[in-house]
Amino acid sequence: MKMFKVHSIEEAKKELTKYFKNYELGNEEIDISKAMGRVLARDVYSNVNVPHFRRSTVDGYAVLSKDTYGVSESLPAFMEIIGEVHMGKPADKSLSVDKACYVPTGGMIPDGADAVVMVEYTEKLDEENIAIYKPVAIKENIIDIGDDIAKDEMVLSSGLRLRPQDIGVLSSIGVDKIKVYKLPTIAIISTGDEIVGSSEELKIGQIRDINTYTLSSMAEESGCVVTKKVVVKDDFDLLKDTAVDCIENNDIVIISGGSSVGTKDITSKVINRIGDPGVFVHGIAIKPGKPTILAKVKDKAVFGLPGQPVSAMIVFKVFVDYLIKYIQGIELEIESSVEAVFTSNIHSAQGKETYQMVTIERKEGEYLAKPVFGKSGMITLISKAKGYIKIDTDKEGVKQGERVRVTIM
């Protein structure tokens, strides 16, 4: 039986980026109202100043700051009220010495004024006069023109997955359409003579399809469009024909199952038969997921994932999701994670980067991570686990009471 050469995770990722360094995903222009979660394909620069007028950050009185120097509760400054500014209207007043004008939060600052005294530090003596009990410095409680965003400033960079607050920024500078990367398309093939549909009646020796459902859900969560999910028997020609069709019509193809080196494991042979360069990594020092395949056929990415559901999900997270981000230029995306105290002693696989499924609970103000034990084929590992921890290659395991970083799934 031929064994595969095992790569470290870092080596495998380097190979992946090398083969897909110049991959062209393409882009499209869309309205910002439909841009949530999409990835910017171009840097965005502002054509305007934000704000485009001086405005107050508090409810208070616009003044000349020098008129307030040295004032206190025992020695207030007395000023004449010359009017007030209304929201959405220009300030039609101009301040001079010992004059004040009421301005609401967000209101325009009148000409001549260089600061705003919060209303809490003033006392209205009558309709025309106020007392001020606290000094203010120049520009205090004022946002100046361009203080938030300056004209020609880059506000959002290519590779950013847009969040609600980013959509708000685009709106604030008058941008209503943006260039985003097209959503990567992905097809998922699950192989095995024993695999049947989720609604089919099980016969002895058969198992229901799990991987096309879990992997397609993960792909959609990663921002892909799933064009096809299909179960194929362990037949060379049938798998080859199915894979050819998927490769022609998608950016990424996943084949789950058949990635090991047994007599029924034909995935690598099928991939290499379809086209060059074919398989460039077969075997990775990761637990679970050692028989993983990374390949390129007709400029498309093809992954051979283990058939065991937990292994397939881990490998998807480590490699498929990594490539999805890479081809969209996403350099950094913070994963949802928490720090937790590990509740048991466990050993890791020597020489492999180990991923351990865990449950999470909160007790006495901190999170506890408890390992979910079971054989890799047990589907309950998926349903019970709330996340996973990564144990580095050179680490022998995790001790009870040790603090770990749990990535939420």
CATH superfamily of 337-408: MoeA, C-terminal, domain IV (2.40.340.10)
- Which residues of the chain register pLDDT less than 70? 1-4, 260-264, 331-334, 374-382
Please give the Cα distance from 297 to 253 (Å, whole number): 10
Is 305:259 a contact under the CB 8 Å cutoff? yes
Q: What is the 3-state secondary structure (H, E, C) of the chain?
A: CCCCCCECHHHHHHHHHHHCCCCCCCEEEEEHHHCCCCEECCCEECCCCECCCCEECCCEEEECHHHHCCCCCCCCEEEEEEEECCCCCCCCCECCCCEEEEECCCCECCECCCEEEEHHHEEECCCCEEEECCCCCCCCCEECCCCCECCCCEEECCCCECCHHHHHHHHHCCCCEEEEECCCEEEEEEECCCEECCCCCCCCCCEECCHHHHHHHHHHHCCCEEEEEEEECCCHHHHHHHHHHHHHCCCEEEEECCCCCCCCCCHHHHHHHHCCEEEEEECECEECCCCCEEEEECCEEEEEECCCHHHHHHHHHHHHHHHHHHHCCCCCCCCCEEEEEECCCEECCCCCEEEEEEEEEEECCEEEEEECCCCCCCCHHHHHCCEEEEECCCCCEECCCCEEEEEEC
**Residue among 341, 255, 334 at smallest CA distance from 291:** 255
Please give the Cα distance from 275 to 391 (Å, whole number): 36
CATH superfamily of 55-143: Molybdopterin biosynthesis moea protein, domain 3. (2.170.190.11)
CATH match of 27-49+150-181 with 3.10.20.600: no
Exposure on the CB side of residue 183, measured as CA atoms within 13 A: 17
CATH class of 9-26+183-327: alpha beta
Q: What is the 3-state secondary structure (H, E, C) of 72-109?
A: CCCCCEEEEEEEECCCCCCCCCECCCCEEEEECCCCEC
At 169, the amino acid letter reads: V
Query: What pLDDT score does 396 carry?
Result: 87
Q: Which residues contact 216 (CB under 8 A, 6 or more apart)?
A: 186, 188, 226, 229
Domain positions in the chain: 9-26+183-327, 27-49+150-181, 55-143, 337-408
Query: What pLDDT score does 202 carry?
Result: 82
Same fold, 9-26+183-327 and 337-408: no
Enumerate the β-bridge partners of residue 295.
279, 302
